[in-house]
Amino acid sequence: MSAARVTKATPPRDGAFIAGASIAALLLLAVAANMLGAFDPGLALNVDARFLAPGARHFLGTDALGRDVAAMIAAGATASLGVALCAVAVGLLGGVPLGLIAAARGGLADEGVARLNDVLFALPPLLLAVLLAATLGPGALTAILALGLFNIPVFARITRASARTLLTRDFVNAARVAGKGPLAIGFQHLLPNLSGLLIAQATIQIALGIAAEAGLSYVGLGAQPPAPSWGRMLHDAQTLTAIAPWLAWFPGIALAGSVLGLSVLGDRLRERLDPRARR
């Protein structure tokens, strides 16, 4: 009935995708190396070697306490990525069930979830983090809770929207005729079909989480010393820009590169995994 379509067999080479994936891999490598203690020598205090400019021995220089900036950045990836990953996990665990319930039940449940989303979207994240820090004390857990809470509506919304279209598909009707209950339909029919979209969105949220974590630790609400973190490195560098400007450059580059790389990766993943976004 339709004219034969000529389709390209190989997808075009995608530089942005490869760059984003490389940055993600580099971040994971840094976290793994840090867990094995690879950066501990560089993190040791050495007042004799403070404020060394980038050079052969410390290729990104040293800070006011003589710590190696390259080692601090690599080790700081742990705090950034750890907080962002946990926050996304909170968002997924909270948001996906809410979105599924809203899509499946409709009516009051749908309305309730929508209002909850609106309330969460309306709250400024930084104020909530300050509030949580006041009650729980500052630290990684505070950052995870504050950021995770704001990931919930993001995942609830995309889950609800996609699940609603999936629920109208006849394979869901067929599953009901085959006697499948709501839980079985949710796990077997909805989640596998949502997974691509969720993975892509999670990647984007990790990028946003890294940026937000840096913001929180910049104001002292994130990871606490001596654990290195990009946000606090920037904070400490602020008063020293005249003496040692590299202290601000390199954490800044690491932060911007990670956020940009992961955002691009998430966008590309969404394009690749979501059939509706495909041309």
Residues that bind another protein (CB under 8 A): 1-6, 169-171, 173-181, 188-189, 192-193
Q: Is-contact 72 44, C-beta < 8 A?
A: no
Minimal distance, residue 191 CB to another protein, in Å: 9
- Of 5 and 279, nearer to another protein (C-beta) is 5
- Of 56 and 177, nearer to another protein (C-beta) is 177
Q: Give the pair of three-digit tokens for residue 122.
A: 């309306």
Q: Is-contact 112 80, C-beta < 8 A?
A: no
- β-strand partners of 62: 68
Q: Is-contact 27 79, C-beta < 8 A?
A: no
Minimal distance, residue 11 CB to another protein, in Å: 17
- Of 46 and 193, nearer to another protein (C-beta) is 193
Could you give the CA distance from residue 215 to residue 235 in angstroms, rounded to a whole number? 10
- Of 185 and 264, nearer to another protein (C-beta) is 185
44-83 burial, b at 16+ Cβ within 10 Å, e below that, comes to eeeeebbebebeeebebbbbeebbbbbbbbbbbbbbbbbb
Minimal distance, residue 2 CB to another protein, in Å: 6
- Of 104 and 247, nearer to another protein (C-beta) is 104
Minimal distance, residue 161 CB to another protein, in Å: 17
Minimal distance, residue 184 CB to another protein, in Å: 8
